[in-house]
Chain A
Amino acid sequence: MIDYEKVLSKRAEELKPSGIRKFFDYASSLEDAISLGVGEPDFKTPWAIRKAGITSLERGKTFYSANSGLADLRREICRYLERRFSLVYDPKTEVIVTVGGSEAIDICIRALINEGDEVLLPEPCFVAYAPIASLTGAKVVPIETKREDGFRLTAEALRAAITPRTKLLIFPFPNNPTGAVMRREHLEEIAAVLRDTDVMVLSDEIYAELTYGSRRHVSIASIPGMRERTIVVNGFSKAYAMTGWRLGYAAGPEPVLRQMLKIHQFAIMCAPTMSQFAAIEALASCDEEIEKMRDEYDMRRRLMVQSLDEIGLSCFEPEGAFYVFPSIQVSGISSSDRFCEELLQQQRLAVVPGTAFGQSGEGHVRISYSYSIDHLLQALGRMRAFLAARREG
């Protein structure tokens, strides 16, 4: 008998399994439970994109692509980045097409980190960065972002966290789960701190297209002095409702991308070719679809912020992504895990505890509005009943 304790990688074993998994498995076993938990669009991939994927299959284009992705796709990505965010990259050497934004994050971290390097991580944030960084032997240094700062990373907090061992800043804005965005003036302040250092930036801009209000998303790579130290990660999942296609990309300086490409080619070979053909169509013809979906999310966002505020769950107003991150203080429950358990048990409504996104998420829950308005209204009704029952009890 093999003693698996002895054969498994220590680093893998030390990764904490997501506690949330169990919670959602339980929620989905309840017949009458409804959820505001998911982190993906409720829209279907626009038809023109699906059609392009189907056509590529009909024509038998089922081969590997170049390791870094189809040349046409890399060209379209560069055109898109320039058109939407004024970022200029060379499609031959400065872009890699990856299996979702997730793989881009993985290979970027692996290409940069040596054992013991420090990785700065503004929290609350997406769940994958810390485990991936830990696997490389990095020391993850969380930086708490605060509600009073609009959950933005402040120059002050960043400066205080930088040490001679700091290698990489993970920069996840627009932010999942808070919906915080960093506007140009905030980016300037961050850039001023980083400019004279060797700290690299992994800017995860997967929610870039879901930025609300009259001002568009600004990439930190477009701030003077930042391009040479930034790897931009983006993808098709959120903007084009293409989660299941698993397609993303990284863009950045050639010396870093060259290392990332090696890891990518040995681990993955190339991103799915069918998805790449579909993505060419997305970039070439679907700007309008993006706007339509954003408008729809924006309406839901306003509805949720206002309605949650009305029932006492005070909301920081999110300006990006498709989440709201209200404080649960009014419920009298301090633990967000317990809040979520009781909400599920009593009202059959599942939301995600803030602690899933780092300790600094305590006292909050993440509510996704990637649902139809009717579904949102039904869920709001349950939340209202839950809070009313607590007030009476």
Chain B
Amino acid sequence: MEKLLALLEQNARLTNAQLAVMTGKTEEEVAAELAKLEADGIIHGYQALIDWEKAGRQLVEARIEIKVVPKRDMGFDEIAGIIAGFSEVSSVYLMSGGYDIGVTVIGKSFRDIAMFVAQRLAVLDSVQSTATHFVLNKYKEKGVLFMERQKDEREVGLL
């Protein structure tokens, strides 16, 4: 199982046939295992890592640090659940340290994001404060370099 997950984490487009031969299983076994991993919520999905800027679409991404005052009827999980429900939000984490909840928001413009923070986040009851940091450049995501690909520097063709 672990091998399968490690392979998919690197490249989710490998076919079941390829996964099968690499892990020494049959295609049917791989299909069954994947179905179970998906059903158990171990595999949450399969996505492409896209450099939208290169694709010509202008997007703005921001990291927002939120301080929260947990209330009797609203703990961290509840407020995180509400924030995660907004479609502009791409990730939500509970953090240790200087703030409580870390949120990544993607919008079309700086104004978009500013409005989202002011009108949707800051007004939430238990949100005490927000600090918004805009992403200037993306170098690496999910272990994949967004910069120029590393060149194969091996030079000797025959040894």
- Chain A residues in the interface with B (C-beta under 8 A): 18, 20-21, 23-24, 27-28, 35, 37-40, 42, 126-127, 176, 299-300, 302-303, 306-307, 350, 352, 356, 371, 373-374, 377
**Which of B18-26, B80-88, B98-106 lies at the interface?**
B18-26
Q: Is B154 an interface residue (CB 8 A)?
A: yes
A329 to B49, CA, bound (A): 40
- Interface size grouping (class) on chain B: 10 to 19
Residue contact A350 to B157, C-beta cutoff 8 Å: yes
A220 to B159, CA, bound (A): 23
Tell me which residues across on chain B come within 8 A of A42, comparing CB atoms.
152, 154
Residue contact B154 to A303, C-beta cutoff 8 Å: no
Residue contact A38 to B21, C-beta cutoff 8 Å: no
Contact with A along B119-159 (1 / 0, CB 8 A): 00000000000000000000000000000000010111111
Q: Is B109 an interface residue (CB 8 A)?
A: no
Cβ contact of A303, chosen from B10, B21, B157, cutoff 8 A: B21
Q: Is B11 an interface residue (CB 8 A)?
A: yes
Considering residues A28, A176, A299, which has the most beta carbons from chain B within 10 angstroms of its beta carbon? A299
A302 in contact with B159 given A38-B154, A40-B154, A373-B11 (CB within 8 Å) = no
Q: Is B7 an interface residue (CB 8 A)?
A: yes
Residue contact A299 to B23, C-beta cutoff 8 Å: yes
Tell me which residues across on chain A come within 8 A of B111, comparing CB atoms.
none
**Can you offer 14 A-B residue contacts whose CB atoms are under 8 A?**
A20-B157, A38-B154, A39-B156, A39-B159, A126-B159, A127-B158, A299-B3, A306-B21, A307-B21, A352-B157, A371-B152, A373-B7, A373-B14, A377-B18
A299 to B22, CA, bound (A): 5
CB distance from A324 to the nearest CB of B (A): 13
CB distance from B15 to the nearest CB of A (A): 10
Looking at chain A's contact residues, is the secondary structure mostly helix, strand, loop, or mixed?
helix
CB distance from B136 to the nearest CB of A (A): 28
Residue contact B3 to A18, C-beta cutoff 8 Å: no
Residue contact B159 to A299, C-beta cutoff 8 Å: no
Residue contact B10 to A20, C-beta cutoff 8 Å: no
Residue in chain A with minimal CB distance to B18: A303
Tell me which residues across on chain B come within 8 A of A35, comparing CB atoms.
152, 157
Tell me which residues across on chain B come within 8 A of A302, comparing CB atoms.
21-22, 24
Tell me which residues across on chain B come within 8 A of A377, comparing CB atoms.
18
A38 in contact with B156 given A302-B24, A303-B21 (CB within 8 Å) = yes
Residue in chain A with minimal CB distance to B10: A373
Tell me which residues across on chain B come within 8 A of A37, comparing CB atoms.
157-158
CB distance from A35 to the nearest CB of B (A): 7
A42 to B154, CA, bound (A): 8
A28 to B23, CA, bound (A): 33
A374 in contact with B11 given A299-B22, A302-B22, A303-B18 (CB within 8 Å) = yes
